[in-house]
Amino acid sequence: MHGYEMIREITERSGGAWKPSPGSVYPTLQLLEDEGLIVSESEGGKKLFSLTDTGRTAAEEVSEAPWEEASRGVDWEALHDVRQAGFGLMEAFGQVWKAGSKEQREKALAVIGDARKKLYLILADED
């Protein structure tokens, strides 16, 4: 597989609970290749990765796949609600950014900044 396929596969296998970023996947692939656990070859402009015998042995020694661990204990209903809220917020922000004046954009940025601060205050048990 190439890196993007791995990201999609991990996301699918974890039920969406874990979607690794390219910024974490590609350095990890380089590290695994440096350690001799995977090899890469170029095919059609893409770099494809596969396990070496050593990598296959190491993978078989792992008791639980990382995507299973990432999805264990996930409250799927709450995750859906969080995603919907986040998408709704970003949709509204995008509309202000596209159609709003400079002042309206500045206000929208301030609202996002205030929301971020308020979320951290929730963790600190402060109002």
The helix or strand, by DSSP H or E, that contains position 44, with its residue range, turns out to be: none
Listed ranges 15-19, 48-52, 69-73; the one with the highest mean pLDDT: 48-52
Predicted confidence at residue 7, as pLDDT, reads 93
Q: Which residues contact 120 (CB under 8 A, 6 or more apart)?
A: none
**Residue 79 binned pLDDT confidence (cut-offs 50, 70, 90):** confident
pLDDT at position 127: 64
CA distance 19 to 79: 13
At residue 76, does pLDDT exceed 90? no
The single-letter DSSP state of residue 49 is E
Token pair belonging to 40: 């890469």
Q: What is the mean pLDDT of residues 104-114?
A: 96
Read off the pLDDT of residues 20-40 as tens digits, 9 standing for 90 and up: 899 999 999 999 999 999 999
**pLDDT for the residue numbered 58:** 92
Amino acid letter at 99? A
Q: What is the DSSP letter of 38?
A: E
